[in-house]
Amino acid sequence: MFEATELNRRNDTRQKLFKLGLGTMTGLLILPVILILTTLIYKGAPVISFEFLFTGPTKGMTAGGIFPALLGTILLVLVALLASVPLGIAAAIYLSEYAADNWFTRAINLAIINLAGVPSIVHALFGVGAFVIFFKFGTSILAASLTLAIMTLPVVIVATRESLQAVPMAFREACWNMGATRWQTIRRVVLPNAITGILTGVILEVSRTSGETAPIMFTGAAFFLPLLPQGVFDQTMALSLHLFVVSTQVPNMPEHLPFGVALVLISIVLLMNSLSIALRMYLRGKKKW
Considering only residues 158 through 197, tell me which ones interact with another protein, judged by CB under 8 A: 170-171, 173-181, 184, 188-189, 192-193
Chain positions 238 to 267 lying near another protein, rule: CB under 8 A, are none
Q: To the nearest whole angstrom, how small is the minimum distance from the Cβ of residue 242 to another protein?
A: 46
Binding to another protein by residue 51, rule CB under 8 A? Answer: no
Q: For residue 174, give Cα distances in angstroms to 101, 138, 178, 194, 250.
A: 22, 51, 7, 17, 64
Binding mask 139-158 for another protein (x = CB under 8 A): --------------------
d(CA 11, CA 226): 69
Compute the least distance from the CB of residue 99 to another protein, in Å. 11
> In the complex with another protein, which residue's Cβ is closer, 182 or 208?
182
We find the least distance from the C-beta atom of residue 178 to another protein, in angstroms, to be 5
- Among residues 176, 61, 156, which one has the least CA distance to residue 115? 156
Q: Choose between 42 and 98: whose C-beta lies nearer to another protein.
A: 98
Count CB atoms within 10 A of the CB of residue 69: 29
CB closer to another protein out of 25 and 178 = 178
E runs forming strands in the chain? 57-58, 63-64
Q: Give backbone dihedrals phi and psi of 115, rounded to 5 degrees, phi first.
A: -60, -40
Min dist. Cβ of residue 100 to another protein (A): 6
Nearer to another protein, 30 or 100 (CB): 100
Closest approach, Cβ 157 to another protein, in A, equals 23
> Cβ closer to another protein: 1 or 170?
170
| Other CB atoms within 10 A of residue 278 CB | 11
Task: Tell me the C-alpha distance between 270 and 100, whole Å.
Answer: 39
Q: Which is nearer to another protein, 171 or 223 (CB)?
A: 171
Closest CB to another protein among residues 25, 100:
100
Report the nearest approach of another protein to the CB of residue 204 (Å).
24
Please give the residues from 62 up to 121 whose contact with another protein meets the rule CB under 8 A: 100-101
> Which DSSP state fits 58?
E
Q: 3-state class of 37 per DSSP?
A: helix
- How many residues form the binding site for another protein (CB under 8 A)? 20
Task: In angstroms, give the least distance from the CB of 286 to another protein.
Answer: 9
Residues 6+ apart with CB under 8 A from 162: 197
Q: Which of 140, 201, 191, 135 is nearest to 166 (CA)?
A: 191
Nearer residue to another protein within complex by CB, 171 or 224: 171
Strand locations in 30-187 (E): 57-58, 63-64
How far is 98 from 88, CA to CA, in rounded Å? Answer: 15
Rounded to a whole number of angstroms, the minimum distance from the CB of residue 163 to another protein is 14
Number of residues written out for the chain: 289
SS3 162: helix
Where along the sequence are the contacts to another protein (CB under 8 A)?
A: 100-101, 170-171, 173-181, 184, 188-189, 192-193, 288-289
